[in-house]
Amino acid sequence: MAVSLREYRAKIKSTQSMKKITRAMELIAASRIIKAQQRAQAAEPYARELTRAVSAVATFSNVDHPLTRETTDAGRAAVLVVVSDRGLAGAYASNAIKEAERLTEKLRAEGKEVVTYVSGRKAEAFYKFRNRPVAQAWTGFSDQPTYDACKEIADTLIAEFLVDTHGVDEVHLVFTRFVSMLTQTPTALRLLPLEVVEGSEAPAEGEMLPLYEFEPSASDVLDALLPKYVTSRVYHAHLQAAASELAARQKAMKSATDNAEELIKKYTRIANQARQAGITQEISEIVGGVNALADATAGSE
């Protein structure tokens, strides 16, 4: 009884320590997610206006730019997977990787060779464990992405796309879109050749189209805007992924804290039952000894 009770008390103590850790991680994630949301929202106006500028140039000019040129016989496709550097975020990383795997299978079914790029240690470890080649990996900034780091990623992808031989014909981006504190959706989209997200709407009947003038030329404007546009898309995806990571971690740590509380109640109940059983057994032994002594005394008389 004493050994069993001591074991349950040790389990209760260790579970209480684990509960403190998960509770602290839950509070840290809750405090950081507000800043992550604010950063994502602050980047949206710039991305929106840049998209409109690119839409205007792409819609009202006939410039054939390399970043917007479609390839009929695409042979190689690059896939950038954006996940977290750390774990303890539930199924956040695995869901994004599963979405990347589905996209990879789809591209291979179309007869394309897939080149994988990863951002985040969880994806790097996933592909390394399975001995799958990774063209390049970026790590160390998943929870607080910077524009400079995202620009390096975008420049690498653009350079690979513009290479005539041994380059890629398509660039796809897989990340987790932040919808709400309870919902984070893995999303896959094509980054290159450029797909304008917000195209100009068709004019109503009798309405005249606005006139645009590009200085020095539409081609020069696209040369300046398109790399910035790709960088903004990559940066915005990392900001969305950072907010999704923190939301997933807060939810996972809250579940872990609740489970620890349930374990503490369970172990306490079992320990109390073991203690009561030991006390009952000791009382039974005492009563049995008293009865045996009484019978022996009566027999001697």
Confidence (pLDDT) at 265: 92
The domain total for the chain is 1
In a domain, 60, yes or no: yes
Q: Helices marked H in 110-204 — which ranges?
A: 121-129, 147-162
Residue 208 has pLDDT above 70, yes or no: no
Residue 1 has pLDDT above 60, yes or no: no
In a domain, 14, yes or no: no
Least confident of 14-23, 37-46, 137-146: 37-46
Tokens of 51: 């998209």
In a domain, 149, yes or no: yes
Mean pLDDT computed over 97-123: 94
CA 222, chain centre distance (Å)? 32
CB-based contact 160:79 (threshold 8 Å): no
**pLDDT tens, position by position, 217-245:** 777 878 888 888 899 999 999 999 999 99
In a domain, 36, yes or no: yes
In a domain, 167, yes or no: yes
Q: Write the CB contacts of 184 (distance below 8 Å, at least 6 apart in sequence).
A: 92, 95, 176, 177, 178, 244, 247, 248
Domain of 233 in residue numbering reads as 24-199+217-253
Residue 200 has pLDDT above 80, yes or no: no
Residue 123 has pLDDT above 90, yes or no: yes
Q: Which CATH number is 39's domain given? A: 3.40.1380.10
pTM of the model: 0.81
Confidence (pLDDT) at 203: 45
Q: In whole numbers, what is the pLDDT of the chain averaged over residues? A: 85
Confidence (pLDDT) at 205: 53
In a domain, 126, yes or no: yes
Among 39, 136, 140, 159, residue whose Cα is nearest residue 81? 136
Residue 41 has pLDDT above 90, yes or no: no
In a domain, 10, yes or no: no
Categorize the per-residue pLDDT at 100 as very low, low, confident or very high, splitting at 50, 70 and 90. very high
Confidence (pLDDT) at 299: 65
Confidence (pLDDT) at 3: 53
Strand partners, 17: none
Residue 301 has pLDDT above 70, yes or no: no
In a domain, 278, yes or no: no
Residue 176 has pLDDT above 90, yes or no: yes
Mean pLDDT computed over 171-194: 91
Query: In Å, what is the CA distance from 21 to each residue of 27, 247, 257?
Result: 10, 17, 9
